[in-house]
Amino acid sequence: MAVDRLNRSYKLVRRPQGMPAAQDFRLVEEAVPEPAEGQFLVRNHYASLDPAMRGWMDDRPSYLPPIPLGASMRAGTIGVIEKSRNADFPVGRWVSSHNAIEDYSLCDGGGRTRLVDPDGVPSVTNYLSAIGTVGMTAYFGLLDVGRPKAGETVLVSGAAGAVGSLVGQIAKMKGCRTIGIAGGAAKCARLLRDYGYDVAIDYRGKSYPELIAAIGEAAPDGVDLQFENVGGAILDAGLVTLNPYGRIVLCGLISQYNSEPYPLRNVWQLIAKGARMEGFIMTHFFHRGAEALPDLTAWVGQGKLRVDEHIEQGLENFLPAFLRLFEGTNEGKMILKLT
Amino acid sequence: MAVDRLNRSYKLVRRPQGMPAAQDFRLVEEAVPEPAEGQFLVRNHYASLDPAMRGWMDDRPSYLPPIPLGASMRAGTIGVIEKSRNADFPVGRWVSSHNAIEDYSLCDGGGRTRLVDPDGVPSVTNYLSAIGTVGMTAYFGLLDVGRPKAGETVLVSGAAGAVGSLVGQIAKMKGCRTIGIAGGAAKCARLLRDYGYDVAIDYRGKSYPELIAAIGEAAPDGVDLQFENVGGAILDAGLVTLNPYGRIVLCGLISQYNSEPYPLRNVWQLIAKGARMEGFIMTHFFHRGAEALPDLTAWVGQGKLRVDEHIEQGLENFLPAFLRLFEGTNEGKMILKLT
């Protein structure tokens, strides 16, 4: 019985300065909690590791409250219900929820919790990638915030990443020309081979003017829509190469999460071009999941959307797996297998 | 006859470095041109002086081509048709057009040229302020780009300026709470007394954290819409005080026009808040003038919209009058009387 086992939990015990370090966390073992009326106990099988988690470690106002010191690292997980006192969530079912990096979590079925069907998809982990938050981020960010039109040129930074790889493919389905920016020759090869990008730009070793020149060469008619996952010089360059009436969708600024903010200088271009820069967070779109999930499920099932997942093993390996997101050494959506 | 007179023309002869200087211009006298078939000759009576003209003096790509060295300073003017070989533009009629700082201009009726009626308005100069480009800038920028809802809090920088003073009044008509930022006690008094702002913030002498605190105090429930005319630290602070789903309308960045761009650090806030920052230029809206001009004309005629104009005398005084825009010593829309 689960109650005889201990619950390993990955706690935040110190606010990271810059890149998170081992001393910022502690792995503890606690009693497995018992569900109260209305609650159920989930054995977490897989956790989603995302760059945005870095922001949750800081003690500053954001779209979610900071993780309190001493609390478990918040994370999206999928797992199996082991005990239940909630009739809507029966024992044995797979469930996707916002839990934590821990073996067991108590849930009440609120928020973004939903039952998922492992038989309907190539892999149950897809519910943490293309058929989960990552897929919906690409879907709503591109289609709802960016509103691409067929024939437009779409520039994606972090184009080989979990979100970027999906954005490029969806933009292509919608009839756009796609340019991907990524770091290194191997990733650029994957952009062209695996994600259907028309052009790949390797930002490594490129100065800011060289970046502008490379985008200009890749997009001789300018960029209509930039989907930004990286920020910094890539965003500043994108403001220059953007077309009149262009749009920049701000999804993430991964280059900034462990450092002082990059000083952006080209915001004036938004005026000169009558252009729009708009941020979004998935929590504002969760209530609209039913608009995106049927499309995403169908595209994944039919093989129209290539989904790469990078699965690391072991709850205790949270930190090195998480840091790979910032090293850029993951190939696909980073997932931590907890079982 | 006009042909016997000379045409004084204010030419750009050198690209300004930073603040424009006398040596960047030359006042020349030339023959008054003769209209060809389809053209007409306008005696320019008043010219609109706007911060955006500083950008036209630079040799860099923007929404309008740079003014060529040796050419007259481009400016919106109103004047009277003296000779005409275009049946749509008869002699004696007042006309509003994009001409130059010169006594006489040749027009062909294209672009933004339109006949105006001096009898229908308190002053014919209103066609260079509330019933012209400035009024349409406030109207479309606030209503079309910003889309305020009744009950929202609207923050306006450069709030005592030509555009800002109108934005505050229109936002108030639409049921918004209005906060104006301006420089100095006298301007702040005008915000409250003349333009109906609910709160006035004097940015002078305030550090960046003090600016954030002052906006926070003026807007305890946060800012829903910021109408930005100034840029720099005010824009960076506004990103902090903006509400979720907030909007920043970028109309101008007057603090930046004679200096290196301010390095903006808080763009991340657009993501955390699911917020939008959008620029616009009036040239993208001119074709929709018929949507705005009836409202603006009625509001001015009925005294619902207070219009302040600051009229300086003499074509030869272009430069000192223009520089007052950056000193902030004008009280109302800056207009140069050429006759």
Residue of chain A nearest B267, judged by CA positions: A264
Report the pLDDT value the prediction gives residue A40, as an integer from 0 to 100. Answer: 98
Give the up-direction half-sphere exposure of residue B273: CA atoms within 13 A in the CB hemisphere. 26
Please tell me whether residue A194 adopts helix, strand or coil conformation: helix
Contact A149, A246 (CB under 8 A): no
Q: Nearest C-alpha of chain B: how many angstroms from A92?
A: 36
Torsion over CA of B328, B331, B334 and B339, rounded to 10 degrees?
-130
Spatial distance between the Cα atoms of B174 and A220, rounded to a whole number of angstroms: 43
What average pLDDT score do residues B52-70 get? 90
Residue of chain A nearest B271, judged by CA positions: A279
For residue B44, give the H/E element and its range: strand B40-48
Burial class (CB in 10 A: 0-12, 13-18, 19+), A117: exposed
Residue B179 binned pLDDT confidence (cut-offs 50, 70, 90): very high
Q: Do A252 and B271 touch (CB under 8 A)?
A: yes
Q: What is the mean pLDDT of chain B?
A: 94
CATH of B2-129+308-337, one of 1.10.3210.10, 3.10.20.30, 3.30.1120.130, 3.90.180.10: 3.90.180.10
Per the document, the length of chain B is 339
H-assigned helices in chain B: 53-56, 133-139, 162-173, 185-194, 208-218, 233-241, 268-272, 289-301, 318-327
Residue of chain A nearest B228, judged by CA positions: A271
Report the pLDDT value the prediction gives residue A135, as an integer from 0 to 100. Answer: 96
Q: Enumerate residues 255 to 274 of chain B having a beta carbon within 8 A of any beta carbon in chain A.
A: 256, 260-274
Report the pLDDT value the prediction gives residue A256, as an integer from 0 to 100. Answer: 82
Residue of chain A nearest B257, judged by CA positions: A268
Q: Nearest C-alpha of chain A: how many angstroms from B267?
A: 8
For residue B302, give every residue at least 6 positions away whose Cβ sits within 8 Å of its Cβ, in sequence order, or none. Answer: none
For residue A301, give the H/E element and its range: helix A289-301
Candidates B268, B270, B282, B287: best to mutate against A (most CBs of A within 10 A) is B268
The pLDDT of residue A3 is above 50: no
Residue-wise pLDDT for A198-241, tens only, equals: 999 999 999 999 999 999 999 999 999 999 999 999 999 999 99
Report the pLDDT value the prediction gives residue A112, as an integer from 0 to 100. Answer: 83
Domains A2-129+307-337 and A134-283 share a fold: no
Residue of chain B nearest A282, judged by CA positions: B274
- Dig out the tokens for A315 from the structure: 């709850």
Spatial distance between the Cα atoms of A211 and B137, rounded to a whole number of angstroms: 34
The pLDDT of residue B29 is above 50: yes
What average pLDDT score do residues B94-122 get? 93
> A62: which chain B residues are within 8 Å (Cβ-Cβ)?
272
Q: Do B284 and A274 touch (CB under 8 A)?
A: yes
- Dig out the tokens for A302 from the structure: 């039919």
The pLDDT of residue A191 is above 60: yes
Q: What is the mean pLDDT of chain A?
A: 95
A227: nearest Cα among A310, A126, A144: A144
Residue of chain A nearest B284, judged by CA positions: A274
Spatial distance between the Cα atoms of B244 and A281, rounded to a whole number of angstroms: 10
The pLDDT of residue A60 is above 90: no
> A266: which chain B residues are within 8 Å (Cβ-Cβ)?
261
> A229: which chain B residues are within 8 Å (Cβ-Cβ)?
none
The pLDDT of residue A2 is above 90: no
Report the pLDDT value the prediction gives residue B4, as an integer from 0 to 100. Answer: 63
Kindly report the CATH class assigned to A2-129+307-337.
Answer: alpha beta
> CB under 8 Å, gap of 24 or more: what pairs does B111-118 form?
B112/B76, B112/B286, B113/B89, B114/B289, B115/B89, B116/B78, B118/B94
Three-state SS annotation for A243-270: EEEEEEEECCCHHHCCCCCCCECCCHHH
Report the pLDDT value the prediction gives residue A4, as an integer from 0 to 100. Answer: 63
Contact A262, A287 (CB under 8 A): no
Residue B62 binned pLDDT confidence (cut-offs 50, 70, 90): confident
> A278: which chain B residues are within 8 Å (Cβ-Cβ)?
270, 275-278
Spatial distance between the Cα atoms of A91 and A174, rounded to a whole number of angstroms: 41
Contact B233, A240 (CB under 8 A): no
A245: nearest Cα among A267, A227, A223: A223
> B253: which chain A residues are within 8 Å (Cβ-Cβ)?
267-268, 271
Q: Does any CB of chain A come closer than 8 Å to the CB of residue B90? A: no
What average pLDDT score do residues B140-164 get? 97
Distances (CA, A) of B82 to A77, B91, B99, B299: 77, 5, 15, 31
Q: What is the DSSP string of A110-165?
A: -TT-EEE-GGGSS-GGGGGTTTSHHHHHHHIIIIIII---TT-EEEEESTTSHHHH
B130: nearest Cα among B170, B99, B188: B170
Q: What is the DSSP string of B116-156?
A: E-GGGSS-GGGGGTTTSHHHHHHHIIIIIII---TT-EEEE
Spatial distance between the Cα atoms of A142 and A154, rounded to a whole number of angstroms: 10
Spatial distance between the Cα atoms of A282 and A289, rounded to a whole number of angstroms: 10
Contact B295, B130 (CB under 8 A): no
Q: Do A279 and B256 touch (CB under 8 A)?
A: no
Q: Do A280 and B274 touch (CB under 8 A)?
A: yes
Q: Does any CB of chain B come closer than 8 Å to the CB of residue A60? A: no
For residues A175 and A52, which has the higher predicted lDDT (pLDDT)?
Answer: A175
Spatial distance between the Cα atoms of A171 and A163, rounded to a whole number of angstroms: 12
Percentage of chain B exceeding pLDDT 70: 99
Q: Does any CB of chain A come closer than 8 Å to the CB of residue B287? A: no
Q: Does any CB of chain B come closer than 8 Å to the CB of residue A63? A: yes
Burial class (CB in 10 A: 0-12, 13-18, 19+), A70: exposed
Q: How many CB atoms are located within 10 Å of the residue A36 CB?
A: 11
Q: Domain residue spans in chain A? A: 2-129+307-337, 134-283
Q: Nearest C-alpha of chain B: how many angstroms from A206?
A: 21
Residue B107 binned pLDDT confidence (cut-offs 50, 70, 90): very high
Spatial distance between the Cα atoms of A119 and B318, rounded to a whole number of angstroms: 75
Report the pLDDT value the prediction gives residue A64, as an integer from 0 to 100. Answer: 85
Task: Name residue, tokens 């506004």.
Answer: B238
- Dig out the tokens for B115 from the structure: 């006949």
The pLDDT of residue B258 is above 90: no
The pLDDT of residue B230 is above 70: yes
**Could you tell me how far CA B267 lies from the centroid of its own chain?**
26
Q: Do A276 and B279 touch (CB under 8 A)?
A: yes
Torsion over CA of A237, A240, A246 and A249, rounded to 10 degrees?
20
Report the pLDDT value the prediction gives residue A1, as an integer from 0 to 100. Answer: 44
Q: Enumerate residues 228 to 257 of chain A having a beta carbon within 8 A of any beta carbon in chain B.
A: 231, 235, 244-245, 250-253, 256
Q: Nearest C-alpha of chain A: how many angstroms from B45?
A: 29
The pLDDT of residue A62 is above 80: no
CATH match of A134-283 with 3.40.50.720: yes
Residue-wise pLDDT for A260-317, tens only, equals: 889 999 999 999 999 999 999 988 898 898 999 999 999 999 999 999 999 999 999 9
Report the pLDDT value the prediction gives residue B277, as an integer from 0 to 100. Answer: 98
CA gyration radius, chain A: 20
CATH of B133-283, one of 3.40.50.880, 3.30.428.10, 3.40.50.720, 3.30.9.10: 3.40.50.720
Task: Name residue, tokens 């009925």.
Answer: B302
Report the pLDDT value the prediction gives residue A295, as an integer from 0 to 100. Answer: 96
Report the pLDDT value the prediction gives residue A283, as an integer from 0 to 100. Answer: 85
Spatial distance between the Cα atoms of B92 and A181, rounded to a whole number of angstroms: 60
Residue-wise pLDDT for A138-172, tens only, equals: 999 999 999 999 999 999 999 999 999 999 999 99
Stretch among A319-333, B152-166, B309-323 having the lowest mean pLDDT: A319-333
